[in-house]
Amino acid sequence: MALIVDVQRGEALFERKTDVQRSIASLTKLMTAMVLIDAKLPMDEVIHIKRTDRDRLRGSKSKLSFGTQMKRGDLLKIMVAGSDNRAAAALGRTFPGGHKAIITEMNKKAEELGLKNTVFKGVSGLRSGNMSTAHDLVGLVKAAYFYPLIREISTIKEDFVTDLRKGWKVEFRNTNRLVLNRKWDIMLSKTGYIADAGHCLVMWTEISGRPVIMVLLNSWGRLSKFGDSNRIRKWLNRADQKAQKAARAEKKVEAKISSVRLTPVSEIE
């Protein structure tokens, strides 16, 4: 399932099964981040990681040990760029009203954005009930792009957050390896994976000087979404080069035609 959209023209450059609803895994965290930012909660507030924040559903690992004390802003950073599920759980738990309240707000925002086939059951994406379509995810990416903080933290290459208990640095890397590739100019990014969703990737990037949103869902292998992205970029580059070549050839023909002196009708015997 895939959808590639030229943002400026608003047209699909490639599409396949764009309205099929399926699990979206950690792509969910873009909506979690938007709702947290909308709530205007203090980013310097210290949050404690508790045992209740562990992933009991799928047993995923986390860089945050129990007892970690971390600023909300740092948890948001490692949740988005590092896709840390324990950070997402802690952020949801400390949202006013807790998990139930933030999930309600996430679904409310999806409705406001016109994402008719999108539903959220959790903040991290671990639940298979977090569903959307490629078409809706383009709308989600467009909305997230207007949050400067999300653009910034979603494209962090590698960084660290600080456990305030002893001042320890917790290092992490972006789960999208393309962010580390100099050939790519990526303005927003998020990856995701659970068995029900397959490997997923959304990006706002620039290819041949034009902004493009890429949505890839249910890729079969851990690295296949990155390989697919590189093939798509090469395909778009080749297409643009052919279009530019054709445009130059057309201009040459027009120039030749305009340079020809036509004989006035009055001079024709």
Which residues are known to be catalytic? Answer: 26, 29, 83
Q: Rounded CA gap, 207 and 212, in Å?
A: 7
Q: Rounded CA gap, 135 and 121, in Å?
A: 20
Position 223: which residue type? L
C-alpha dihedral sign at 256, 258, 261, 263? positive
Say which residues have a Cβ less than 8 Å from residue 188's Cβ, sequence separation at least 6: 141, 144, 145, 150, 151, 154, 155, 202, 203, 204
Q: How far is CA 5 from CA 24, 125, 187, 242, in A?
A: 19, 24, 15, 19
Torsion, Cα of 83, 86, 88, 90 (10° steps): -160
Backbone φ and ψ of 198, nearest 5° = 75, -170
Tell which residue, 200, 129, 38, 137, has the closest CA to residue 119: 129
Q: Rounded CA gap, 3 and 214, in Å?
A: 6
Q: Rounded CA gap, 209 and 164, in Å?
A: 42
The SS3 of residue 200 is: strand
Find where tokens 């990014």 sit. Answer: 189
Position 165: which residue type? R
